Structure 1
Amino acid sequence: MASDLRDLLQSAVEDGSAPGAVALVARGDAVEVATAGTAELGGRTPMARDSIFRIASLTKPVTSALALLLIEQGRIGHDDPIATWLPELAHPKVMRTPDAPLDDVVPASRAITVADLLTSRAGWGFPDDFSWPAIGALFAQGSQRHGRDPQLVPAPGEWLKNLAEVPLVFQPGERWLYNTCSDILGTLLARATDTPLPQLMAEHVFEPLGMTDTGFAVPADRLDRFTSAYSPDEDGLTLVDPRDGQWSSLSAFPSGAGGLVSTVDDYHAFARTLLPGAGGLLSERSVREMTTDHLTAEQRAASRLFLEGQGWGSGGAVDIAPLEPWNVVGRYGWTGGTGTTAHVIPATGTVAILMTQVAMTGPTPVPLQRAFWTYAARR
């Protein structure tokens, strides 16, 4: 019931977890939406169905869908070496061991392919252990940041040059690593089509699906619907980005891993195309590829910090066992570090989307997200 969903959101507002929240749970044509709280901490603007949020890593499934669409069109191929369009990354070096010094490297055993990017197994990215030298280098070189300041990330050419100086942690295809592959993939798609990523996504995803409030920046005439962003600390919530801050103009680097803003209805328009038989964007074959686990048991076991026993399709996790009340075998989706989460449950035809404006403090989902997943799994 919608009142139950609103009560769930309102409880988070009342305990100070979030100034506000918007949630959508849909099954077929039955769509329930609930809102609670305000768009700003201590503000007077009520959270609304059309409130706009920084969706962070919910960008990843969109980038993957765009890549699969371009593969369907024959513009890129699964087995194509990424060096075809990203020559900066043509000759990567690989750490001899993950914890080795940065100069203890060996050549890559093979070329990195588009498929490696789609499954986050190219060799760059975040493991469970952030103490490894190569992971520190990703941050030090400016190749990866926490995602809350897109205006500080260099343009794609410089970004690629910086990344090329960082060795792979593992050989291509050997291990799943988080985040970086989606940024590389977005950059590759722009190069392959000679089209900036914001324009490419708009033409192939947003406009066809009617996602009018989704993009890499918020136009001035919509800033009144944009939510301020916060981070929790020992004193409560601290403002990290106001409405007219980092997303009020396009950044030099449109992040395919986490750069988008959106609303619950816009993201629903996208997410429902990932249900079996839904159509509207990708072929059935591409939807299956995107929402099917591609990892080996060993790769899943080595990535428990982010995956918590789940598998990985393309751009999102896939539930492979009913480990928790919210786990439904085949459920596909992900969370965004700015306080967002979205999943589709093929078995029941369900789409579940939750948006808040409070950043997660790590890869582990917060209680509100887990409570929402349990609610959605029971619809």
Structure 2
Amino acid sequence: MSASGLSTARLGRMREVLTGHVTRGDVPGLVAMVARRGEVHVEAVGTREAGGEGGPMRRDAIFRIASVTKQITAVAAMILVEECRLRLDDPVDDLLPELAGRRVLRRPDGPLDDTVPALRPITLRDLLAYRLGIGAVLAAPGEYPIQRAMDEAGLSPGPRAAEIGPDEWLKRLGALPLIHQPGEKWMYHTGSDVLGVLMARATGRPLEEFLRERLFEPLGMKDTGFHVPAGKLDRLPAGYSPDPATGALVLADDPRDSRWARPPAFPSAGGGLVSTADDLLAFCTMMLNKGMLNKGRHGGERILSRPSVELMTTDQLTEQQKAENTVFFGGASGWGLGINVVTRRDDLANVPGRFGWTGGTGTCVYTDPAEELIGILLTQRYMTSPTPPAVFRDFWTCAYQVIDD
């Protein structure tokens, strides 16, 4: 056993299990990282493209991290809260007038013109806690009028970002009624994308510019952004989506003609970033250190205060709100400010206080303060449901079974 409390023999088991997923064709390749008490163990397995094309997977591969983006942009919002440039419980109307004077559907499946006035304005807390009143509709495609309207407007969550700018995106969102009253229900995703527009307007700068100055550069996240520069495209693996009928992997994003090869029209604060395992490790280490940068390299400089990190990683939802979203929370977790928080131990990896999230392009990043453990899994296989695929579940089992103290 090392000083970190990680078993060398059991780390070998993790490699065997992950290699098995690649050998069986579940994923073409992956990068897995487990870090504890200063020790970092990395596995780069498989290839960057199916069939062995593109060469072997590399530790510095740049992945589309999808909704793992959410915890990063939530930290950026809390920076603005600490500077008193934004306030958690102030209405967002001044900066986002498109969302002022909201109308709310009488019932979620009702016609778009059957509405009542919103009982109160939307706040920053609503955006971070996903209780602004609109988000992903968990119903069969096209079942609800509001769902169809969101699809037609390019506002529905998914791997395809809207090909419109932030102002037009928010204008389209403001033209639709809310599905629920602000604060009433938890609805996934949309709050983060609104948050990105809010931060850009609050700072008077493009979102990526603000993120780079206040997060990416201080943390040394040199490969994180909303697109992959031309000189780094050889490190972008292909992205694949499973065929619903056969399960075979179908190319969804070719690195030679990737939509991530150019800056997006809409930089999605809910799912638009690309990053590497080492960049994400730097972010997670800061969160594990309660907002402080790596003391050895940065002399104790802070990104956030300890109280802000503790607030972000505290469950903000009611029991009813969680019960209505068991597909996301499974009865053992909730939602903080922009991040999933484990509340009950019902599995090997479900340690109360553990926080993080998964991304629909096949990524999963969690930090566990109780065990001082960071786990990062980056794959190329897009998810088709909120239920974690087997490679995710096996990675987390392996990450926790290596603990040897």
TM-score normalized with structure 1 length? 0.96
Q: How many angstroms does 1:136 deviate by? A: 2.8
Provide the rounded CA distance (Å) in 2 between the counterparts of 1:83 and 1:44: 48
**Equivalent residue in structure 1 for 2:210, among 200, 207, 220:** 200
**Equivalent residue in structure 1 for 2:254, among 242, 253, 257:** 242
Partners of 1:190 and 1:197 within 8 A in 2: yes
**Equivalent residue in structure 1 for 2:270, among 239, 257, 262:** 257
2:177 corresponds to which residue?
Answer: 167
Provide the rounded CA distance (Å) in 1 between the counterparts of 2:151 and 2:386: 17
Q: How many angstroms does 1:44 deviate by? A: 4.5
Between 244-253 and 273-282, the greater mean CA deviation after superposition: 273-282
Q: How many angstroms does 1:74 deviate by? A: 1.4
Partners of 1:6 and 1:35 within 8 A in 2: no
1:270 corresponds to which residue?
Answer: 283
Q: How many angstroms does 1:369 deviate by? A: 0.4
Residue 358 in structure 1 maps to residue 368 in structure 2:
no
Q: Which amino acid aligns with 2:360?
A: G
Between 87-96 and 136-145, the greater mean CA deviation after superposition: 136-145
Provide the rounded CA distance (Å) in 2 between the counterparts of 1:323 and 1:334: 17
Partners of 1:276 and 1:287 within 8 A in 2: no
2:154 corresponds to which residue?
Answer: 142
Give deviations 1:38-82, integer Å, cap 9, x for gaps. Answer: 011111411011011000000000110000011111111112211
Q: How many angstroms does 1:133 deviate by? A: 2.6
Q: Which amino acid aligns with 2:196?
A: G
Q: Which amino acid aligns with 2:337?
A: S
Q: How many angstroms does 1:157 deviate by? A: 1.0
Partners of 2:360 and 2:382 within 8 A in 1: yes
- Cα distance 1:279–1:11, how it changes in 2: closer, same or farther (>3 A)? same
Give deviations 1:120-140, integer Å, cap 9, x for gaps. Answer: 110010244353332332222
Give deviations 1:320-345, integer Å, cap 9, x for gaps. Answer: 11122321111101100000000001
Between 233-242 and 255-264, the greater mean CA deviation after superposition: 233-242
Provide the rounded CA distance (Å) in 1 between the counterparts of 2:373 and 2:189: 26
2:61 corresponds to which residue?
Answer: 51
Provide the rounded CA distance (Å) in 2 between the counterparts of 1:156 and 1:75: 20
**Equivalent residue in structure 2 for 1:283, among 305, 308, 316:** 305
Partners of 1:119 and 1:312 within 8 A in 2: yes
Q: How many angstroms does 1:235 deviate by? A: 5.6
Identity percentage over the alignment? Answer: 47
Partners of 1:216 and 1:259 within 8 A in 2: yes
**Equivalent residue in structure 2 for 1:334, among 353, 357, 367:** 357
Q: How does 1:31-180 map to 2 (within 5 A)?
A: 31-42=40-51, 43-129=53-139, 131-147=143-159, 149-150=160-161, 152-180=162-190
Q: Which amino acid aligns with 1:284?
A: R
Provide the rounded CA distance (Å) in 1 between the counterparts of 2:306 and 2:148: 40
Partners of 2:361 and 2:383 within 8 A in 1: yes
Runs (5+) with no aligned partner, structure 1: none
Partners of 2:220 and 2:279 within 8 A in 1: yes
Partners of 1:125 and 1:135 within 8 A in 2: no
Q: Which amino acid aligns with 1:6?
A: R
Give deviations 1:73-110, integer Å, cap 9, x for gaps. Answer: 11111122111111111121111122222111111000
Superposed CA RMSD in Å reads 1.4
Q: Which amino acid aligns with 2:30?
A: A
**How many residues are treated as equivalent by the alignment?**
377
Q: Which amino acid aligns with 1:346?
A: P
Pick the structure with greater CA Rg.
2
Partners of 1:36 and 1:46 within 8 A in 2: yes
Partners of 2:125 and 2:337 within 8 A in 1: no
Q: What secondary structure, in the 3-state scheme, does the structure 2 residue paired with 1:238 have?
A: strand
- Cα distance 1:254–1:357, how it changes in 2: closer, same or farther (>3 A)? same
Partners of 2:102 and 2:118 within 8 A in 1: yes
Provide the rounded CA distance (Å) in 1 between the counterparts of 2:285 and 2:216: 14
Q: Which amino acid aligns with 2:326?
A: R
**Equivalent residue in structure 1 for 2:21, among 5, 9, 12:** 12
**Equivalent residue in structure 1 for 2:226, among 202, 210, 216:** 216
Provide the rounded CA distance (Å) in 2 between the counterparts of 1:376 and 1:235: 27
Residue 28 in structure 1 maps to residue 37 in structure 2:
yes
Q: What secondary structure, in the 3-state scheme, does the structure 1 residue paired with 2:223 have?
A: coil
Q: How many angstroms does 1:153 deviate by? A: 2.6
1:317 corresponds to which residue?
Answer: 340
Q: Which amino acid aligns with 1:65?
A: V
Provide the rounded CA distance (Å) in 2 between the counterparts of 1:217 and 1:312: 28
